[in-house]
A = this chain, B = another copy of it.
């Protein structure tokens, strides 16, 4: 196995997207600059009239952070700029600690053998002052609109304010015709963000020790989000690869990253990831705790786990998956399953419970966990340790028993103003998906749902990004707030960089399909702009507006690589004679040439004939 090393600076993808630039929208309540990506598009040239139609630029939600801002210099060894630091300090409810609180953390810090792996530019951690509560839920309930909340409101609107405020011909047209069928019904306001957080229907995962991250929200009245899992295992991977995968995942659209490392140097790997991540980071602390006891689940205990929570909270982890709902008396419910317990955290806790004949210590210590979480604003992602691992086990008693306990734990978290979401399955056939969402809303009082897929069949290992994207899109439409991606390697091995991208793009598709189906304000704007570009053979615009411009361009160029083909009114799929879009263009041009608009031309010129035929024709089939 190769030696672990710190990342070299050139592994991170820092190129801006083609035809795009990073723009910043100024806040009104707070002095904040909200990043988004602006995609410039070309004009439409009307062939016969010679008229030039201006097409509006398209603003899209951008998770790639400073990496795609050409004006920012990235140095992986220094980490990203601390966007939120002043917001946090200005609230006057945190204190900077003289040293880190975790025994294990100090031990790693003082081990000279780890010097070569250490992130050098770390700060001393922040913690809530005694008696303070620094969670966004706490502020929201007090009626405070934080900079984070305003940032999110502007971000979620994806530049629609701009389009509204422009006296733009195209935009007016959109509102008048089919282009505007799903045009935004309302804009998201900072106050709406606050209300949703206060109600527990949405969470803003942003640990005060991860000021590098751009605020984002997880809730079903916002854009559907996606998470990408990365992390090493005992068998493979390095710090460099994991940081590279994290930044790569953000580039393609990951809204959060979970670092699921279970191999060596977990502490240092996480530090590098957090310092370079523009999105919130989640972890499953029990994994590291298990490593600390040499992989023996029965040797786990509350003290080790508690120290791990604090260690990770002070590094800046934004949400913790905690499998506190795997109760002792639920374990027998999994005995007759085809695939037993398939969650790693769930099986670790089940093993511990059985070995000790005791209740899950995460459950019995849940209030103490809440007290830690509120000091750093770490959000709960309550694990679904008993999720089904096969179609046969979907929606069974074990699964729903745990979900009910998750609801109970939500209420406890909320007592401490700690933000919480619930994790969900797994493997579920399509006809059983809706029940998962309905039960979660009921049992868990509308806290955000965060599901893994679900996979809608078990028979396609190697393609589980697809088996699960089907389920993910559906459950997203039904109300799931965040979708945990599944890569093509699921069930087979650790994802590499290509798998990460495949998983992320696939899940962006699922999330966006869900946004369209839910009618999220403005979701369809990008679809319309891309389809218009496609129809008008503006090939570069079509590529640039797509989720993955590189692949779209590459596929096109495989058969027609010449630059001239980018203005050609056909592609290799059908060739020039059979291009329906070309023919329709001709139909439109024909109408144009007749000096009237297409619809009128058709109606005027053809109505008689058409009616004539209708009389004859309808006789034909009476």
Contact = CB atoms under 8 A, between A and B. Distances in A.
Interface stretch (A109-117, A157-165, A347-355): A347-355
Nearest to A582: B347
Interface string A339-353: 111111011101101
A505 B546 contact: no
Interface residues of A, number: 153
Nearest to A432: B517
Contacts of A558: 489, 493, 496
A535 B340 contact: yes
A350 B366 CA distance: 67
A460 B546 contact: yes
Nearest to A514: B430
A567 interface: no
A551 to B, nearest CB: 4
Interface string A454-466: 0011111111011
A95 to B, nearest CB: 31
A605 B335 CA distance: 14
Nearest to A581: B342
Nearest to A494: B572
A586 to B, nearest CB: 7
Contacts of A429: 182, 513, 516-517, 524
A506 B463 contact: yes
Contacts of A460: 505, 508-509, 512, 546-548
Given A233-B575, A463-B509, A513-B429, A531 B390 contact: yes
Nearest to A621: B408
Contacts of A513: 429-430, 456-457, 467, 470
A132 interface: no
A614 to B, nearest CB: 7
Nearest to A568: B235
Which of A263, A295, A558 has the most B CB atoms < 10 Å from its CB? Answer: A558
A597 B336 CA distance: 10
A526 interface: yes
A588 interface: yes
Nearest to A496: B558
A217 to B, nearest CB: 22
A176 to B, nearest CB: 9
A461 B509 contact: no
A59 interface: no
Given A430-B514, A506-B466, A575-B234, A461 B580 contact: no
Interface in A550-589: 551-552, 554-556, 558-560, 571-581, 583-588
A363 interface: yes
B531 A571 contact: no
A506 B457 CA distance: 12
Contact of A290 (B233, B359, B577, B584): B577
Contacts of A263: 575
Contacts of A559: 235-236, 493-494
Given A392-B178, A581-B339, A574 B470 contact: no
Interface in A238-297: 262-263, 287, 290-291, 295, 297
A357 interface: yes
B572 A181 contact: no
A462 B555 contact: yes
B493 A556 contact: yes
Contact of A463 (B358, B547, B605): B547
Interface in A3-42: none
Given A348-B580, A456-B473, A493-B571, 17 more contacts: A233-B572, A290-B577, A295-B577, A327-B610, A328-B609, A331-B587, A340-B588, A342-B581, A350-B583, A359-B613, A390-B534, A391-B531, A392-B527, A431-B518, A460-B546, A463-B509, A491-B573
Give the top 8 A-B pairs by smallest Cβ distance, nearest first.
Answer: A234-B575, A390-B531, A340-B584, A295-B577, A347-B580, A347-B583, A430-B517, A462-B551
